[in-house]
Amino acid sequence: MKIVVKLLKKQWIDYRYSIKIYSSFKLELLYLKFKLKILFDFF
């Protein structure tokens, strides 16, 4: 039983970590788009 709990905890941590990475990645993309838009508007 303890092993199952450990596995679940690990999966939960991995899951949260991947969400973190994914959201920061999305933010990064938005930021890039934003910068490109400004550049194109500028020129």
φ and ψ at 24, to 5 degrees?
A: -70, -35
**What's the pLDDT score for residue 43?**
65
pLDDT at 1 over 80: no
pLDDT at 32 over 80: yes
Q: How far is the C-alpha of 3 from the C-alpha of 16, rounded, in Å?
A: 20
Task: Tell me the domain boundaries of the chain.
Answer: 1-43
Percent of the chain, pLDDT > 70? 95
What are 13-23's pLDDT values in tens digits? 888 888 898 89
User: Could you tell me the pTM of the whole model?
Assistant: 0.48
Q: How far is the C-alpha of 19 from the C-alpha of 26, rounded, in Å?
A: 10
Q: What is the mean pLDDT of the chain?
A: 87
